[in-house]
Structure 1
Amino acid sequence: MAMAAATMEARHSEIHQFSLQQADKSVSTKCSTASRRLSLVSLAVAITACSQKIDTAQAFSLGTSGPKEWLKQQKKRTADFLLVPIARSRERLESAFLLFSSSNPLEAGNLIRIAARDCIPVEAGSILDLQSRTGVEVCTFRLLVKNAASLLDNSDPVKIKAYLALENLIRSFTYLDESVTAPTSSTEVANAFELTYAALSTFEAGIRACLGIA
C-alpha cells in the first residue's frame, strides 16, 4: 500500500510538472506572438511614414518651378478668402455714402474707417499706432498684397502694379476720411467716395492678377 501511494504521488508530481511546462510554453508563445505583432505594427508605421516622405519628395522633385506652381494653385484655392475683406469694405463704403447723404457724417466717418481696415493714419498713442511702431503690420490691405504676391518676383510688373494700387487705395481712404470729418462741400465728398470706390476696384483687380484669377 505504501508503495502504491508513493507511486501515485510520483505520478501526480509528474502531471503537475508537465502542466507547468505547458503553461510556461503557452505564455512564452503568447509573448512571442504579441512581440511579433508589435514588430509588424512598428514596421507598418515605418513603411507608411517612409511612403509619405517619398510621396512628398516626388511632389517636390518636379524641377525648380514644380513647388512654385503647386503653391500658386494653393493660393488660387484661397482666393475667395483673400477677397472677402475687399467685398466687405465695398459694402461698408456704400453704406457710408448713404449715411453721409442722409446728413449723418459722424456715422459715415466711422464706417469709412472700418472699411479702410486699419490702413489710414490713426490717433497717436492708440493701440494700432503702438503696434505699427513695433513693426506689426496692421493694414489688412497690405497684408493681402503680401500674401497674394508672395510668389512673384519684386520686379514682376503684376506685383509692382498691385503695390501701386495699394498705395493709391490708402491715399483715397485717407482723403475720404478727411473730407467727411472736415467742413467740405458735398460735391467734394461725393467725388472722394467715387475715387475711393474706384481705387478699391483697382486694388481688387491687382490682387486677382497676383493670384492668376479672372
Structure 2
Amino acid sequence: MESSLMKMSVTPCSCIAPQDSSITRQIVASIPQPSLPSSISVTNASTSGSELTRSVFSRSLIALLSCFSLQEILVPVHPAMAFSVGISGPKEWLKNQKKKTSDFLIAPIIASRKRLESAVSFAAETASPADIEAAQKLVKSAARDCIKPEDGSLVAFQQKTGVEVCTFRLILKNAASLLDDSDPVKLNASLALDNLISSFTSLNDVLVGLSMNADVNRMAVADAFSETNRALDNFEKGVRECLGIS
C-alpha cells in the first residue's frame, strides 16, 4: 500500500521540470507517509463523505443567511407581499385558523338561543311567580353578562375595574380582530351587537315588570322574546361574516 501511495505521490506535475524529477522523488520519499489501515471499509469512506457534504452545506447555508439582515428574516411578511406559489401571509393564516375554531365562538350564541326558548315556556300566560322568576334567570344567563348586573355582584365589580364581561362583545372582538374599523362587515356586526344588548335589556325589563304585576300585557312579553331572538340571529350572522363562514 505504501509503495503504491509513493508511486502516486511522485507523479511529476506540469510545474516541475523533467530533469528535477529525481530530486523530487528524494524529497517525497523523505516525507513520512500516513499509515492507512488495511481494513478500511467503503462504509466508513461513505460516512466521511456524507459528513463532509453536510459540513459544506451548513457553511453554505450560514453564508447565504448572512446576506440577509435579522430584520428581513424575522419581520412578518405582509399578505400583499407573500409569494404567489401557495405561501400565504400571516394574516391569511390567522383567518384560516379563526375559521377552524369558529365553532367555539358560535357555541355561546347557540346556547343563548336555547335558553331563550326555555324562558319563553316559563313566561306563558299561565306562568306562576316561580315560573316568571325562572324565566328571568334564563334570560340573564342568555344575555351573557351583557345587561346591567345586580349591584354588589362579581360582574358589577369587574365592570367597575374596567374588565370586559360581556361575552358577546368578546366574541365579536375576536371574530373581527383582523378587520379594519371602517370595514362594513365589522360595522354591521357592531350594530347587530348593540341591538342585541338593547333587546336583552328590554326583555329583562318586561319580565321584571311581569314579576311585579301579573296583569302586564302578555303580548308585550311575547314581542320582546321575538325581538331578542331576531337580534340574536342577526348577531350570529354578523359574527359569521366577520369570520368568513356561512
Structure 1 residue 113 corresponds to structure 2 residue 112: no
Q: CA deviation at 1:126?
A: 1.6
* Structure of larger gyration radius: 2
Residue identity in the other structure for 2:136:
G
Higher helix share: 1
State the Cα RMSD in Å. 2.3
Q: Distance in 1 between matches of 2:193 and 2:78?
A: 34
* Per-residue deviation, residues 26-55 of structure 1 (Å, max 9, x unmatched): xxxxxxxxxxxxxx9xxxxxx9xx9xxxxx
Q: Please give the TM-score of this superposition, normalised by the length of structure 1.
A: 0.71
Counterpart of 2:219 (choices 180, 187, 205) is 187
Residue identity in the other structure for 2:222:
A
Residue identity in the other structure for 2:243:
L
Match in the other structure for 1:54: none
Q: Distance in 1 between matches of 2:79 and 2:227?
A: 45
Q: CA deviation at 1:124?
A: 2.2
Q: Distance in 2 between matches of 1:70 and 1:203?
A: 25
Q: Distance in 1 between matches of 2:80 and 2:205?
A: 48
Structure number with the bigger relative contact order (C-alpha 8 A, sep ≥ 6) is: 1
Q: Distance in 1 between matches of 2:78 and 2:141?
A: 44
Structure 1 residue 94 corresponds to structure 2 residue 117: yes
* Per-residue deviation, residues 134-167 of structure 1 (Å, max 9, x unmatched): 1100000000000000000000010011111001
Question: Could you say if the C-alpha distance between residues 63 and 210 of structure 1 is closer, same or farther in structure 2, counting changes exceeding 3 Å?
Answer: closer
Structure 1 residue 196 corresponds to structure 2 residue 222: no
Q: CA deviation at 1:80?
A: 0.6
Alignment of 1:7-86 (within 5 A): 60-61=76-77, 63-64=79-80, 66-86=89-109
Q: Distance in 2 between matches of 1:192 and 1:91?
A: 16
Q: CA deviation at 1:99?
A: 0.9
Residue identity in the other structure for 1:212:
G
Q: Distance in 2 between matches of 1:153 and 1:80?
A: 23
Alignment of 1:162-177 (within 5 A): 162-177=189-204
Residue identity in the other structure for 1:144:
I
Query: Could you list the runs of 5+ residues in structure 1 that have no partner in the other structure?
Result: 1-39, 41-46, 51-56
Query: Could you list the runs of 5+ residues in structure 2 that have no partner in the other structure?
Result: 1-50, 52-57, 62-72, 82-88
Q: Distance in 2 between matches of 1:140 and 1:61?
A: 33
Q: Distance in 2 between matches of 1:62 and 1:163?
A: 27
Structure 1 residue 146 corresponds to structure 2 residue 173: yes
Local SS of the residue matching 2:146: coil
Q: CA deviation at 1:123?
A: 1.6
Q: Distance in 2 between matches of 1:62 and 1:168?
A: 35
Q: Distance in 1 between matches of 2:237 and 2:142?
A: 18
Structure 1 residue 155 corresponds to structure 2 residue 178: no
Residue identity in the other structure for 1:100:
A
Local SS of the residue matching 1:107: helix
Alignment length, in residue pairs?
A: 162
Q: Distance in 2 between matches of 1:167 and 1:63?
A: 32
